[in-house]
Amino acid sequence: MKLTLRLRLTVWYATALFAALLLYAGVVYAFLEHSLWQQLDQRLHETVEDMEALLPASWSSETQLTNVATDEDGDEEDSWIEVWSLDGRRLFQSPRAARQPLDMLGTPREARVASVQVASRRHVRVRDEASHVGEMPVIIRVAESEDQLRDSLWRLSWIMALGLPIAVGATAYGGYRLARRALGPVDRMADRARSITAERLGDRLTVENPDDEIGRLATVFNDMFARLEMAFEQTRRFSADASHELRTPLTAIRTVGEVALRDARTAAEYREVVGSMLEETDHVTRLVEALLMLSRADAGQIPISRELVPLADLTLRVTAQLDVLAEEKQQSLDIDVREPVCARVDPFVLRLALVNLVDNAIQHSPPGARITVRIWTTQTEALIDVEDNGPGIPAVHHDRLFDRFYRVDEARTRRGGGVGLGLAITRWAVEAQDGRVEVISEEGTGSVFRIHLPREASALA
């Protein structure tokens, strides 16, 4: 079963907290245990030192230590103390040691510290230290019950064992509530996004705080919806424009044919009708071919084969092809090569872009105008300008000028036989060469369409 994000966050948070608290509890327990044992051993050592101070300065091996002095508080009366000779004779025994003999300890042989179990649940801490009574070496044995220490550690263990799950459970519950509250905007975003369909792409997600992660995510989604809306709008407009472009010549063909069949006509008149229908058919053919090319380009089905191409030679071939159209309008078509340069491009695809730009300049420039194709360079780019003396293009149209079927003047939609896809094909052809195309124009001052291409360092020669 797959857990929700808030449950996964809660589990991870509770697990990490449990591990941290368990480690902390272990460290605290170990530190406290070590401290308590150290304090117990220190008390035993201090009892030995106090006993050493009370031992008589002179003593013979035949004499028992029966008159050991005690301090004013009588601490030794409450302490478990024995003094042993090295040959195993007990020389002194405190009243408490006499009342509670620990025979299982045996005879002390050397200095040591040990824990000894004296009953099923009772333990004592025994310390044997070497000392002297006069000139006689002895071993002082002291002992103290460990029951209080062990009880303290046992109670601490139970407190940790009971408190740790409670703390983790309470924290996990709080973490779940916090995760649920923190991820609440995500649920609302999901519900809102689910309601946005193709018919409601204008709707947007609510951005409660644009500076946090959820707000930035909502902003990204809104940007995506904006791009989708633009793409859908372009698709709708493209479909409508394509339908209009196809319907117009087809309607003309049908109308001309119906009119021609309505009355008997001469052979010359029929030839004129057929010629008109062929013109419209040619327009439809060119439109379908352009649409097919753009469709294949969008699908990446047009192969791009790059080679090092002299841009001046390519431009000369294009102007030679279109020079006849310029002469029909008494226009001059000039080439200005400021610096010979090569670019690594597909010559067929780039030639397609240049033909569209030059043909567009010829169509929209008045008779007698001058059209200049200029080649020049910067440190990193090779540039081709197509400059005309046409009416110019207002700045409001620059951003959409290369969209499919977009025209500055709708009144001249089919004037000159254009299909409205030339600049769209030009943009694709240039961008396929890792370049870009831009327009520099103002109304009434002519236009410059500029192609930017990467300049090859090896082409400088």
Residue-averaged pLDDT of the chain = 82
Domain shared by 364 and 456, yes or no: yes
User: Residue 251: which domain range?
Assistant: 213-298
207 in a domain, yes or no? no
Q: How confident is the model at residue 65 (pLDDT cuts 50, 70, 90)?
A: low
Backbone angles phi, psi at 65, to 5 degrees: -85, 80
Domain boundary among 280, 298, 316: 298
Long-range contacts of 392-397 (CB under 8 A, 24+ apart): 392/441, 392/442, 392/443, 392/444, 392/445, 392/446, 392/447, 393/439, 393/441, 393/442, 393/443, 393/447, 394/442, 394/443, 395/441, 395/442
160 in a domain, yes or no? no
Domain shared by 269 and 314, yes or no: no
Q: How far apart are CA 132 and CA 48, in angstroms?
A: 12
Domain harbouring 10, CATH code:
3.30.450
| pLDDT exceeds cutoff 50 at 461 | no
Domain shared by 258 and 326, yes or no: no
Long-range contacts of 186-195 (CB under 8 A, 24+ apart): 186/214, 186/217, 189/214, 189/217, 189/218, 189/221, 193/221
Confidence at residue 321, expressed as pLDDT on a 0 to 100 scale: 86
Q: What is the pLDDT of residues 1-39, one digit of tens each?
A: 577 777 888 888 888 888 998 999 999 999 999 999 999
203 in a domain, yes or no? no
Q: How confident is the model at residue 71 (pLDDT cuts 50, 70, 90)?
A: very low
Enter the tokens of residue 184: 């609440």
User: 140 vs 52, which has greater pLDDT?
Assistant: 140
Name the pairing type of β-strands 307-310 and 342-345: antiparallel
Domain shared by 256 and 382, yes or no: no
Contact 414, 248 (CB under 8 A): yes
How many domains is the chain built from?
3
Domain boundary among 129, 154, 179: 154
Domain shared by 313 and 290, yes or no: no
Domain boundary among 113, 132, 154: 154
Q: Is 393 exposed, middle or buried (0-12, 13-18, 19+ CB in 10 A)?
A: buried
Q: What is the pLDDT of residues 122-169, one digit of tens each?
A: 889 999 999 887 778 889 999 998 989 999 999 999 999 898 889 888
Enter the tokens of residue 15: 């697990």
Q: What is the pLDDT of residues 394-450, one digit of tens each?
A: 888 888 888 777 766 654 444 455 557 788 889 988 998 889 999 998 888 889 999
Q: Is the pTM of this model over 0.85?
A: no
Q: What is the pLDDT of residues 165-223, one digit of tens each?
A: 898 888 888 888 887 787 777 778 788 888 887 777 778 877 777 777 778 888 888 88
Domain harbouring 261, CATH code:
1.10.287.130
Confidence at residue 64, expressed as pLDDT on a 0 to 100 scale: 54
Domain shared by 244 and 132, yes or no: no
- 450 forms beta bridges with 385, 438
Q: Is 273 exposed, middle or buried (0-12, 13-18, 19+ CB in 10 A)?
A: middle
Domain shared by 312 and 456, yes or no: yes
